[in-house]
Amino acid sequence: MNRKIGLVGLGYVGLPVAVAFGQEHQIVGFDISEHRINTLLQGEDFTNEVGPHELEKANIDFTTEPSRLRDCDFIIVAVPTPINDNKQPDLTPLEKSSETVGRNLTKGAIVVYESTVYPGATEEVCIPILERESGLKAGQDFFVGYSPERINPGDKEHTFRTIRKIVSGQTPKVLDIVAEVYESVVDAGVYKASSIKVAEAAKVIENTQRDLNIALMNELSIIFDRLEIDTKEVLEAAGTKWNFLPFSPGLVGGHCIGVDPYYLTHKAESTGYHPQIILAGRRINDGMGKHIATSLIKEMIHKNMPIQGSRVTVLGLTFKENVPDLRNSKVIDVIRELEEFGVEVQVTDPYAFPEEAHEEYGVDLINYEALKPADAVVFAVPHRFYLDKGWEQFNHVLKHGKGIVMDVKSSLDKATVPDEITLWRL
């Protein structure tokens, strides 16, 4: 494998890819953020996906200078593909990065996209930009491949090296080269998709499938709540059957599961088909923040607690446990709904960056030790920081150690709940 590799986008996805390649080859790591590059040059990954030792072992030339990509003949693009306020795909980062790559593309180079897109986006959106900016012809002067990312933030077991990699290419020869390059660092091996569109579709349905399964669990939790049945106990009982799938209810945020289905539905609607099951699942999952907040209000009314002027503490703001990633966190839906009822909400999160929380959501994070005693707690994100403290922490967080605890992900031990606490969980 004698390709000179360049990596465009050094976020949650791009950096682990860059580090894996950098431990085996000399590569160029490009990002438009000077802050990101400066912290990486100092050996720090503020996403916590890569440790200092791994970073140190990787031979990566970190840069914000796009012209450095001209030294590369195998360029991997790993930039975010979010949705806008109308839940439509926002391809701006993908388009901008394609412009940057196109302006620095050399003859014979291969560009591989890892960003999650709808089937057809690589060939319909990215290739024309690469051709326009480079003046070169795709399939003749340069080639394109697609290899969907499968990074799971915070997961130290399923990593870039240990997850089998789907690869695809414009031609059989390009596919073989793309496969060879990834095989040089992915221990789990590769799977050769028959076309770029097949690889794109495979990625987008992986998360759509998870989204739908979680939506089913969320809908069941709403039903069981009305029937006064504990959802977790039901799932544990049903889970004794060998083929029962182990999904559980919760808030579905982040930059994958809560986003990717909209890419598929957008493309489906462009063909004249209106997806029903996928969008139904999205509606259920997008409504869970409001359900949790209104459930808390009902519990408070049952306890004869005043609503307006009451204080509720929210533990955790990131989209999942033990990561600092705030993108598309659905905890904010709980917060805003409670505030509409006139509740004073204080939010704390030991992993999130306060500046980012303020900029992204207008939320001022409070240091855990500085929390004022609250009438109720929404245990939104089960960070290890909170789990290690167990039930004892509510002596500090709740007024006189009494009140309501909303355990969103059923992370606390129900069997040892103190008598003074009313427990609610999805």
* 143: helix, strand or coil: strand
The pair of three-digit structure tokens given for residue 155, joined into one six-digit string: 């997961």
**Annotated catalytic residue within 117, 129, 256, 398:** 256
* CA–CA gap between residue 361 and residue 112 (Å, rounded): 33
For residue 91, give every residue at least 6 positions away whose Cβ sits within 8 Å of its Cβ, in sequence order, or none.
81, 117, 121, 125
Task: Identify residue 75 by its one-letter amino acid code.
Answer: I
The residues that bridge with 165 in the sheet, in sequence order, are 190
* CA–CA gap between residue 346 and residue 366 (Å, rounded): 7
Q: Nearest-CA neighbor of 115 among 167, 87, 71, 80?
A: 80
Does the active-site annotation cover 126? no
Which residue's entry shows tokens 């059957």? 241
Which residue's entry shows tokens 């039903």? 223
* CA–CA gap between residue 18 and residue 58 (Å, rounded): 8
The residues that bridge with 111 in the sheet, in sequence order, are 75, 144
Task: Identify residue 190 by its one-letter amino acid code.
Answer: V
Q: Nearest-CA neighbor of 372 among 397, 389, 393?
A: 397
* CA–CA gap between residue 128 and residue 13 (Å, rounded): 24
CA atoms within 13 A on the CB side of 155: 12
Which residue's entry shows tokens 């977790």? 232
Beta strands in 292-388 (DSSP E): 311-315, 344-348, 376-379
CA atoms within 13 A on the CB side of 237: 6
Cα torsion angle, 247, 361, 261, 115, sign: negative
DSSP string, 26-95: -EEEE-S-HHHHHHHHTT--TTSSS-HHHHHHS-EEEES-GGGGGG-SEEEE-----B-TTS-B--HHHH
Catalytic amino acids?
256
